Amino acid sequence: MSEAVRVERRGHVLEVTLDRPKVNAIDVTASRLLGQAFVTLRDDPDLRVGIVTAAGDRIFSAGWDIKAAHAGSEVGKWWDIDYGPGKFAGLTELWDLNKPVIAALNGHVLGGGLELALACDIRIAADDAQLGLTEINLAIIPGGGGTQRLPRLVGRGKALEMILTGMRVPAAEALRIGLVERVVPAAELSTAAVTFARSVAAKAPIALRYAKEAVVGGMALPLADGIRLEADLSTLLRTTEDRLEGARAFLEKRKPSWSGR
């Protein structure tokens, strides 16, 4: 796979690293490669959790590669059938994943870079991170789901404040408003993300998938329908071999050995 996106397996965890110095901007090629990495995570039954991160310590991603998007053969590619609105940076493949994905956010997380993070399930930020949807400064608006995902995390007012001003939110404030779930010292970001991912990957894989489906799918439903979805998935889990193994391991005071069945 191209150096623009590096993929590394860590047991049941797939780490996807954006590596486009100096600002990790995302062009058409990087967007396609990110999508391919998320498909790998989706289709490989041995992979249970994903991590999305970026090389360097100053910039997670500045978002779209504006220079490439307005130069030569790149013009128009952003808006073709494969990479139109909402499909930037492999976001369609990421959003459709039935496995949890963690974003490890270092440095500046701006524009499409933040939209990539918003499409993940858990966000862990370095304590020096700055997060913002800065598209308004270029006379555009977020086009990768930012106007929809951000208010679902931080509320309408705060989302509008961020989007209308292009303001950058420091990590501590991002934690306070619910934009990220954890903040760690910058030097510990990679370790924290991998440790958390491995702790999740140690759980029964079917239960992980159904837990995500219940939460994400349920949020799009009226409460009564969400409760029914939860009940259906819970009932299905009771028919699995892993549910029996979990009970046996608990009674025998040992670590369970999940089969994924």
Q: What is the pLDDT along the chain (261 residues), one digit of tens a residue?
A: 458 999 999 999 999 999 998 899 888 888 889 999 999 999 999 999 999 999 988 999 988 877 766 555 554 554 443 445 455 777 888 888 999 999 999 999 999 999 999 999 999 999 999 999 999 998 989 988 999 999 999 999 999 999 999 999 999 999 999 999 999 999 999 999 999 999 999 999 999 999 999 999 999 999 999 999 999 999 999 999 989 989 998 998 999 888 889
**Order of strands across the sheet with 59-61?**
59-61, 108-110, 130-132, 169-170
CATH number for domain 205-252, candidates 1.10.12.10, 3.40.50.1370, 3.40.109.10, 1.10.10.60: 1.10.12.10
Query: Which of 156, 85, 148 has its CA nearest to residue 119?
Result: 148
Residue 75: partners with Cβ closer than 8 Å, 6 or more residues away? 69
Catalytic member of 135, 161, 181, 213? 135
115 classed as catalytic: yes
Residue ranges covered by each domain of the chain: 5-201, 205-252
Catalytic member of 115, 213, 230, 245? 115
5-201 is classed in which CATH architecture?
Alpha-Beta Complex (3.90)
Provide the pLDDT for residue 95.
82
Which structure tokens are listed for 238? 């009771």
Provide the pLDDT for residue 81.
39
74 classed as catalytic: no
Provide the pLDDT for residue 78.
47
